[in-house]
Each structure stands twice: as C-alpha cells, then as structure tokens.
Amino acid sequence: MEELASSIAGPTLQFDIAWLLDPTAWVGLLTLTVIQTVLGIDNLLFIAVLSAKLPAKQAKQARYLGLGGALVIRIILMLSAAYIVAISKPLFTIYDFECTSRDLMMLAGGLFLIYKATQELHGKLEATDVEEAMTVNKAVVQSFAVVVSQIIILDVLFSADAIVTAIGMTNHGYIMIISVTIASVLLIWASGAISEFVTKHPTLVILCLGFLLLIAFSLILEAFHIYVSKGYLYSAMGFSILIESFNQISRKNLLQLKKNNTARQTAATIVLRLLGSRPDDMPTLKDAIISAPEEDIFNSQEQEMVSRVLQLSTLPVKAVMTARPDLQMIKIDGSTTSVIKKAMQCTRSRLIAYKNGFKDQPLGFIVRANLLGQMLQGNTAVGDIERQVVQPIHLPETISILKALEQFKKNKKYFGFVFDEFGVFEGVVTLQDILEEITGEMPSRTETPEILPYDESESAYRVDGDTILSDLERETGLAISANEHYQTIAGYVLDRFQRVPKQGEKLEVDGWTIEVSSADLTSINVLKLTRNKPKEGETEETEIKTQE
C-alpha cells in the first residue's frame, strides 16, 4: 500500500528531467503557471499602492526590483516547504495512523487554500473591492529602498497560497521553479496587460479559484494518506480550461454581436423598459410595445407614439409620400390664360409645376392661392408665374423618414420631391406627412380618413390603397410585413396578384378578406377589409379568389 501511495503521490522532491517526457507534467506546468499568474495579480494591486508615492520612473524600478527579489525568496521558501513535506519520519502515531510533518503541512495547506479560495470567491460573487483591504496609510514610504523592501515583504506574505498550491500540484522541483519564474516574469513585464485581461475576463479568476479548491481537497486527502493521481487533477483542470475557452469565445462573439447593433436598437430597448415591457422576452418590437406593463408608466397614446417614433429610421420616405397619381400638376410655359384656367380647375392647395412636357423633372410647386391672387392683381405674365415656383428639396425614395427629417431641418424646407434611382419623379413628402406618421392621421376638412370602419363592430373597414401597412396593423390588427417591394396595402395586393386586380376580386390572408372596391388601369384606389369568422378545424391559409 505504501509503495502504491509513493508511486502515485511521489512525496519525494524530484530534480530529474524525466518529466519532460510526461505529457501530464506539461499540462501541470501550464496550469500551475496560469494559477501562479492569476494569484499574483491581486498582489499587484497592493504593490501599486506602495509604489504610488514614488515618481513614475522610480515606481517602475521599485516594482521590478521588489518582484525580482520576492521571486528569489519565494523559490527558497517553496523548496524549503517541499523538503519539509518530503520528510517521512513519523512525529506521532494514532492507532495505525502515522502522522508526519508532511501530513501536518498538507493538512494546514489544504485548510489554508480552502479559506483563501472561499474568501476570494465570496469577494468576487459579492463584488467587494479588493483595493479597500489596504490603503495608502498602511504603507508610509520614506525612500526608494524602503519601497523595494516593503514590496518584497508584501509579495512574500501574500505568496503563501501560491507556494502551497505549487507543492500540492507537483513534486517536481523544476516544474515549481519554472512555473513561479514564468509567472513572476509575466507579472513584472506585463502587469498592466494582465490586469486588463483579467478585468475583461472575470470568469477566469473564478475558474482559478475553483482550481484552488480542487487542490485544497487533494492536499487534505493526502494528509490522511488518501492519494489521488496528479494526472486526474491535470485532466480535470485541462478540461475545465478547454470549456472556459469555449465560454470566452462565445462571450466575445456575443459582445461583437451587441456591438454591431445600432444605437437606435439600444435606445429602443431602454425606452421599452421605461414603458414597462421586457424586450428580452418579446419576439418582436411590436409585441414588446403592446405588452401590458406591470405599472401604467405611460398611457396607451404615449406608447403608440413611442412605437411610431422607433420605426422612423426603418421606414423609407416613399412609405409616407403622396404618390404622383394623387398629385395635380400644372404646365407653366403655356399661355397665361391656360395656366390660370388650369389652376382654377385644380383642387389641391399646392400644384406641381413643370415645363416643356417634362413631368418626370418638375421645377417645383406653386401655391394655388398665391397664383390666383396674382391673377386678381393683374400679374399674369409668364415671368410673374415662374417667380411663384417654390424650390423643394430632392430626396431619393430609399432614404429613411428620420434622415428625410434631418434634410428638412438642414435646408429649412417643409416640402420635398421624391425621385427613384433613375431620377424619375415619384411623389412629394411634407413635414406634415412625417408628423402624421408620429402622431397618427391628422383630421382634415377635405380629406377622408384612410381607414374607416363600416360599423361599430369594426369587423369591416374601408381602406385607401395608399395606407401604410404599419398604420393598417394599428387600426385593424391585420399584420402584414412590409418589404422592399411594397409599403402600402395596395402594393401588397398588387404583389400578390402580380397584376392590377379588377373591382370585386378578393384576397384572403390571416383570417381577413381583402376585396378590391375601386381600381383603375394602373392602381388600386379603395379596398374593403372584412374579418372572417373562424370555423372549427379550419387552418389559416392565404389564397386568391377571382370573381368570375
């Protein structure tokens, strides 16, 4: 039994080079070096306090000399402790149990490591500040030599856990010396970088403290002559390091993903939490907005407005513009009589002005009331009419509403022309259009609401073809996702039919029937939405029905 214990635990301190051929010894060297480095990082915090009284250059030299001297003393203490541990002469006997100085040191070391590890774990889990354990008042620095001496003494005093850890992990003297030397050199030359790395990866400290507990229990078992192969310890530690590497890679990718999120998404999350919702539990932004908060921090109208604001940067300006077919255009290079006559026939307050038949490249817009006022004053010359043309800003159809609003503010304009990628005039957008997207449809004496229920049951609606899909969802509950091909209900129906449908043709989608109420050769003007009554056993499917 004793021979087996000796072969497994190897209580005698060894200085041969046979360990170079042992893979587990290399794993032990790597693990011990990492543990020694991590255990020494906390010492750097206290050493920084001691050297803070010196000038920058002297403080750096004091750290180098202090840590270098502490390294020599640490190696001497480590080898001395290992020699004491190797003494196998019994001090006393209890029944059949022979207690040696090695057993007592192993027991004391194991209990010390358990105390040290649990104390550090408690501090990490409770987020206590390590620097509070020592203040500058405890280190009264008189001179450079005093600082170096204090650094050596402090590092040696705080190295008990590292010494016991090394003895508990290996009985190879070379492995002890190499690991402690590498760790000290790393702490000396890369103290700043190491501290920053551990700060960014706090789970690494927790992992090493877990290793301390593992080593502590191993020491206690050896103190009672229950030997555990070091290979088992190294394998467990190596596997744990592998898992922690996966964890760090996953964390890095997650942080990179969060970093790629736009500032708007971050702001949206904050706003949603203020609203009382929990965005992490919501599958979509809409669900987070309409979910009932625990407290009525915002009323429904305020929540509605916030949800609209959060969508401004995703909606293109063409979603809120007045399309070209709905505009009234006037040719201003004809006779003044024809221009005035055309203006009197128009009903819009603003008329799109063009010349030479170039309707795709309008000059600007004319306020109809001003034009008719000039006529009453007798200013009917062509030059007088052209001076009435107001230059708007030009916007691409793909620009977002939020960026369009920035352009309005920058150019001090309130009216904009929207063009496609080929420079063809598509429609107009105004500040009022953007305001209505935030506040909802504004009432007008001459304008019929885009969405109008047929009765109080709200099971059927009259819907204008140019109604934005997001507005349709808010009013009726019919959720249709917009994409690059369409932003309105008419665009969605055209995309489904792949042609202009005739009056009376129907489209069923998600429990609703969409019927074309009014359409011409090029566009859909009005639709009727009817909520279908659910039938038992019926699944929701989308199909097109054509009236014969």
CB distance 32 to 179 below 8 Å: yes
Query: Three-state secondary structure along 130-174?
Result: HHHHCCHHHCCCCCHHHHHHHHHHHHHHCCHHHHHHHHHHCCEHH
Burial, 305: exposed, middle or buried (Cβ in 10 Å; 0-12, 13-18, 19+)? middle
Helix, strand, coil percent values for the chain (each to nearest 5): 55, 15, 30
CB distance 354 to 328 below 8 Å: no
For residue 174, give the amino acid letter.
Y
Three-state secondary-structure class, residue 366: strand
Q: Where is pLDDT greater, at 254 or 538?
A: 254
User: Does residue 132 register a pLDDT over 50?
Assistant: no
13 closest CA partner among 167, 116, 203: 167
Question: Rg for the chain (alpha carbons), in Å?
Answer: 40
Burial, 399: exposed, middle or buried (Cβ in 10 Å; 0-12, 13-18, 19+)? middle
Q: For residue 515, how many other CB atoms are within 10 A of its CB?
A: 20
Element (H, E) at 436: helix 431-439
Q: What angle do CA 473, 474, 480 make, to 5 degrees?
A: 15
Residue with tokens 């969060």: 258
User: Does residue 529 register a pLDDT over 60?
Assistant: yes
CB distance 333 to 466 below 8 Å: no
Mean pLDDT of 34-54: 60
Helices (H), 51-100: 56-86
* pTM more than 0.75: no
Number of residues in the chain: 548
| Segment 425-480, tens digit of pLDDT | 988 998 888 888 777 666 554 555 677 887 777 788 888 888 888 778 878 888 88
Burial, 522: exposed, middle or buried (Cβ in 10 Å; 0-12, 13-18, 19+)? exposed
At 509 the pLDDT is 87
CB distance 277 to 289 below 8 Å: yes
User: Does residue 176 register a pLDDT over 80?
Assistant: no
Distance CA 18, CA 237 (A): 22
Domains of the chain and CATH, by start: 23-258 (no CATH), 263-310 (no CATH), 317-431 (3.10.580.10), 451-545 (3.30.465.10)
At 198 the pLDDT is 59
Highest mean pLDDT among 48-52, 163-167, 321-325: 321-325
Mean pLDDT of 342-356: 85
Helix axes of 173-189 and 23-50: crossing angle, nearest 10 degrees: 40
Q: Where is pLDDT greater, at 265 or 252?
A: 252
Q: For residue 224, how many other CB atoms are within 10 A of its CB?
A: 12
Q: What angle do CA 514, 515, 516 make, to 5 degrees?
A: 125
Residue with tokens 């170079």: 20
User: Does residue 282 register a pLDDT over 50?
Assistant: no
423 closest CA partner among 486, 361, 356, 351: 361
| Segment 200-255, tens digit of pLDDT | 666 777 777 777 788 778 778 878 888 777 677 767 877 887 888 888 888 777 77
User: Does residue 3 register a pLDDT over 80?
Assistant: no
Distance CA 29, CA 98 (A): 31
pLDDT band at 92 (very low <50, low <70, confident <90, very high): confident
Distance CA 220, CA 381 (A): 107
88 closest CA partner among 11, 15, 13, 8: 11
Q: Where is pLDDT greater, at 66 or 521?
A: 521
| Segment 493-517, tens digit of pLDDT | 888 888 888 888 888 888 888 899 8
Backbone angles phi, psi at 333, to 5 degrees: -100, 10
Backbone angles phi, psi at 539, to 5 degrees: -100, 150
DSSP one-letter string for 267-313: HHHHHHHHHT--GGG-SSHHHHHHSPPSS-SS-HHHHHHHHHHHTTT
CB distance 46 to 206 below 8 Å: no
Enter the tokens of residue 517: 């109420």
Handedness of CA 429, 431, 433, 438 (dihedral sign): positive
Q: Where is pLDDT greater, at 75 or 170?
A: 75
Q: Within 13 A of 137's CA, how many CA atoms are on the CB side?
A: 2
pLDDT band at 199 (very low <50, low <70, confident <90, very high): low
Distance CA 150, CA 133 (A): 17
Distance CA 15, CA 32 (A): 17
Distance CA 468, CA 438 (A): 13
| Segment 354-406, tens digit of pLDDT | 888 888 888 888 888 887 777 777 666 666 778 888 889 999 988 888 888 88
Distance CA 461, CA 442 (A): 18
Mean pLDDT of 325-334: 83
On average, the pLDDT of the chain sits at: 72
Specify which residues 528 forms β-bridges with. Answer: 462, 515
